[in-house]
Amino acid sequence: MTRRSWIGWQFTAPFLALFTLVFLAPIAYSAYLSVFRTRLVGGTTFVGLENYTKALSDPQFWESITRVVLFLLIQVPIMLGLALLVALAIDSGRLYGAGFFRVAIFLPYAVPSVVATLMAGFLYGIRFGLVGSINEALGLNLPDPLAPGWILATIGNIVTWEYVGYNMLILYSGLKVIDASLYEAAAIDGAGELRIIRAIKLPALRGPLVVATIFSIVGSFQLFNEPQVLDSLAPNSITTYFTPNIYAYQLSFAGQQINYSATVALLMGVATMVVAYLFQLRAMRGEAR
Amino acid sequence: MTATPTVRAAARRPGRPPLKPAARKPRRRSAVLTVVTGVMLAYAILPLAWLFISASKTQEDLLATFGLWFGGEFALFDNIADTFTYQDGIFGRWVLNTVIYVVVGAGGATLLAALAGYGLAKFDFRGRRAVFAVVLGGIAVPPTALAVPTFLLFAKMGLTDTPWAVIIPSLVSPFGLYLMWTYSTEAVPNEILESARCDGAGEFRIFFKLALPLLAPGLVTVLLFNLVAAWNNFFMPLIMLKNADLYPLTLGLYSWNRQANTVGGDVVFDLVITGSLLTIIPLTVAFLMLQRYWQQGLAAGSVKQ
């Protein structure tokens, strides 16, 4: 037993050492930084929870949170809804070329978010993008997708494009492992396609949907790449506190407010975990019912 | 240890037909449904078509001609040559960096996750439960939330602006460990391990010679997840690296685009577009070739909570 014990640690130790370095130590370090304040004159002083009370009454911090929550509430249902429809369509066996659909709709996932956003920036650009071309050709005056009023919707569109195929494949995999005898039973009972979807497929997809939603919640709260890349294409639309992550980044690298930046990053990390956890709890309770 | 994914358990039930829906009668195909789903297909594919078409244009045509059709001249190969020669060929350097970050980062992360997942699944040692709880908690911690604190810590340690600043964080994949633990529990029978021990084989020899081949499907899945994460990595390199010679492709393209949008900067939109096309080709090809593994992997990932 003691020898075994030692061996098990040997297998786990390399991972744990690095996990400590890139997960536990940064969390501890930012918790440490968050209770100090550094000033050019006066140096570093201990300020207790002052950075936290500052964050909680910081309108820029709240605006960034409101924005990602709005994003979460609108973009995620649209994306997962589309993914669900496509997964059901491909699984229905009624599509011509279903395999081609599956692979092609999944492909955008292979595109790094930086590249996807650069593409979108060009596509939507008024100068030589598609929107510009269409406006010119048809004499229309379509709104500028990179204007302040539209930029969040545009980011939603980019994120949907990137991840709809990935979520579709998660849901499709969930459909593939449904026991075929359930369909036979349903057919004997004379159930139609919609009835089968409602009574068999959707309940079977609950687990995969919970997983997909949790990943989407985390992704929304941590939104960074897309607005950061769009910033150089639409500088007037992306503020320095557009999302909490952009805010933490700006505070640290443009504002030199390292202690406050660590506080914001820590608060958002905790908030993300709490929301993801609460959602999972709720989803599990629904399943137990 | 009872949280075996129900999907995989179902897939392995004896007497069940293979995953192809062989048990279901062939259905009548529906043209309407195909067309409706085709809208989604167009949504997914059109930007990629635009990218390919745009990469084939000269910079003048890019500005002057319709986005979804070819310009007067097919300049793709000229553009590729320009991309690789601009700024003393730094693009090639970025390709090489990306390959190094991906191979070392994703490969290392997969090996570490396999070792640890196997260790947690197959050995009963003091503190195992605590380890597992901490690592599972790690799955819920988004890496981006840790990026700024990690930067500050690495700056203290003198690691910033070195390749290690990008590689070390990508070596740790809690989700990969979780998947490998699940696979190890299921795919490596304890009897085989016991008999190997009776023959006097060392534990690490047993792992590399006996367990790893059995873990191959899980390994491929975890490797693919890590591969995508490392290939797409942007936030970490952005904050960690100053020296452009160390950039991965994502950060390099970003810097070109930024430069083109700066007043007085060199306008290289054609290179940004061609570089983007070159960046997505390798992973796209890998996806098309390995799509079967992806599906299995995702099925194993979509465990019932």
DSSP code string of chain B: -----HHHHHHT-TTPPPSS-TTSPPPPP-HHHHHHHHHHHHHHHHHHHHHHHHHTS-HHHHHHS-TTS--SS--HHHHHHHHHHHHHHHHHHHHHHHHHHHHHHHHHHHHHHHHHHHHHHH---TTHHHHHHHHHHHHHS-HHHHHHHHHHHHHHHT-TTSHHHHHHHHT--HHHHHHHHHHHHHHS-HHHHHHHHHTT--HHHHIIIIIHHHTHHHHHHHHHHHHHHHHH--HHHHHH---GGG--HHHHHHHHHHHHTSTT----HHHHHHHHHHHHHHHHHHHHHHHHHHHHHHHHHS---
Q: Which of B51, B63, B127 sits opposite A128 (nearest CB)?
A: B63
CA distance A235 to A262: 25
Q: What are the chain B neighbours of A121 within 8 Å (beta carbons)?
A: 257
Q: What is the pLDDT of residue B6?
A: 36
| pLDDT reading at B261 higher than 60 | yes
Establish if B195 touches chain A: CB-CB under 8 angstroms: no
CATH architecture assignment, domain B81-301: Orthogonal Bundle (1.10)
Name the one residue in this structure whose structure tokens are 């997942």.
B117
Hey, how many other C-beta atoms are within 10 angstroms of the C-beta on A7? 18
Q: Which of B41, B257, B304 sits opposite A104 (nearest CB)?
A: B41
Q: Which of A24, A110, A224 sits opposite B287 (nearest CB)?
A: A110
pLDDT band at residue B294 using 50, 70 and 90 as cut-offs: low
Q: Which contiguous run of DSSP H or E holds residue A224?
A: none
Parts of chain B belonging to CATH 1.10.3720.10: 81-301
Q: What is the pLDDT of residue A1?
A: 43
The token pair at B281 is 């080709």
Q: What is the pLDDT of residue A202?
A: 92
Cβ-defined contact of A114 to B23 (cutoff 8 Å): no
Which residue from A minimizes the CA distance to B116? A12
Please state the separation of Cα B29 from the chain's center in Å.
35
CA distance A218 to A277: 11
* C-alpha closest to that of A130 among B68, B155, B188, B222: B68
Hey, how many other C-beta atoms are within 10 angstroms of the C-beta on B23? 13
* Residue B71 near residue B56 (C-beta atoms within 8 A): yes
CATH architecture assignment, domain A45-288: Orthogonal Bundle (1.10)
Average pLDDT over residues B136-152: 81
Average pLDDT over residues B34-58: 91
The token pair at B137 is 């908690």
* C-alpha closest to that of B47 among A129, A206, A170, A243: A129
* Residue B124 near residue B193 (C-beta atoms within 8 A): no
Q: What is the pLDDT of residue B16?
A: 43
| pLDDT reading at B69 higher than 90 | no
**Max alpha carbon distance in chain B (Å)?**
75
Q: What is the pLDDT of residue B41?
A: 94
Cβ-defined contact of A127 to B63 (cutoff 8 Å): yes
Q: CA dist A153 to A68, A148, B219, B284, Å? A: 12, 10, 38, 27
* C-alpha closest to that of A222 among B278, B142, B91, B129: B142
| pLDDT reading at B233 higher than 50 | yes
Cβ-defined contact of A183 to B131 (cutoff 8 Å): no
Single-letter code of the amino acid located at B297: G
Q: Which of B24, B43, B235 sits opposite A183 (nearest CB)?
A: B24
Establish if B69 touches chain A: CB-CB under 8 angstroms: no
User: Which residues touch B118 (CB under 8 Å, ≥6 apart)?
Assistant: A11, B180, B181, B184, B188, B207, B211, B215
Q: What is the pLDDT of residue B8?
A: 40
The token pair at A87 is 């997964």
Q: Which of A15-24, B94-103, B138-147 is the least confident region?
A: B138-147
User: What stretches in chain A show pLDDT beneath 70?
Assistant: 1-4, 126-129, 286-289
Instruction: Provide the shortest C-alpha distance from residue B23 to chain A (in Å).
Output: 6
Name the one residue in this structure whose structure tokens are 């000033």.
A39
Q: Is the pTM of this model over 0.90?
A: no
User: Which residues touch B288 (CB under 8 Å, ≥6 apart)?
Assistant: A103
Average pLDDT over residues B2-28: 45
CA distance A262 to B150: 10
CA distance B88 to A24: 41
Establish if B236 touches chain A: CB-CB under 8 angstroms: no
| pLDDT reading at B17 higher than 60 | no
3-state secondary structure at position A38: strand
Q: What are the chain A neighbours of B262 within 8 Å (beta carbons)?
A: 232
* Residue B108 near residue B163 (C-beta atoms within 8 A): no
B158: left (phi over 0), alpha (psi -120 to 50) or beta: left
Query: Across the A/B interface, how many CB contacts are shorter than 8 Å?
Result: 321
CA distance A272 to A219: 9
What percentage of chain B has pLDDT greater than the value 90?
39
Q: What are the chain A neighbours of B177 within 8 Å (beta carbons)?
A: 15
Q: Identify how many contiguous H helices and E strands chain A contains and give both numbers.
A: 15, 2
Cβ-defined contact of B149 to A280 (cutoff 8 Å): no
| pLDDT reading at B234 higher than 50 | yes
Cβ-defined contact of B30 to A95 (cutoff 8 Å): yes
The token pair at B173 is 């994949």
* C-alpha closest to that of B165 among B175, B157, B177: B157
Which residue from A minimizes the CA distance to B237? A225
Single-letter code of the amino acid located at A66: T
Q: What are the chain B neighbours of A181 within 8 Å (beta carbons)?
A: 23
Return the half-sphere exposure (C-beta side, CA atoms, 13 A cut-off) of residue B280. Answer: 25
CA distance A64 to A67: 5
3-state secondary structure at position A37: strand
Hey, how many other C-beta atoms are within 10 angstroms of the C-beta on B18? 8
Query: Would you say the C-alpha torsion B94, B99, B104, B106 has a positive or negative sign?
Result: positive
Instruction: Provide the shortest C-alpha distance from residue A14 to chain B (in Å).
Output: 7
CA distance A243 to A69: 10
R_g of chain A computed on alpha carbons: 24
Which residue from B minimizes the CA distance to A286? B305
CA distance B230 to B98: 8
CA distance B43 to B266: 32
Q: What are the chain A neighbours of B168 within 8 Å (beta carbons)?
A: 18, 21-22
* C-alpha closest to that of B186 among B65, B30, B303, B12: B12
Single-letter code of the amino acid located at A58: D
- Choose between B299 and B52: higher pLDDT: B52
| pLDDT reading at B222 higher than 50 | yes
3-state secondary structure at position A141: coil
ipTM of predicted complex: 0.89
Q: Please state the φ and ψ torsions of residue A4, each to the nearest 5 degrees.
A: -50, -50
Q: What are the chain A neighbours of B232 within 8 Å (beta carbons)?
A: 112-114
Q: Which of B126, B145, B303 sits opposite A268 (nearest CB)?
A: B145
* C-alpha closest to that of A264 among A242, A249, A274: A249
* Residue B228 near residue B110 (C-beta atoms within 8 A): no
Establish if B258 touches chain A: CB-CB under 8 angstroms: yes
Cβ-defined contact of A97 to B169 (cutoff 8 Å): no
Cβ-defined contact of B146 to A106 (cutoff 8 Å): no
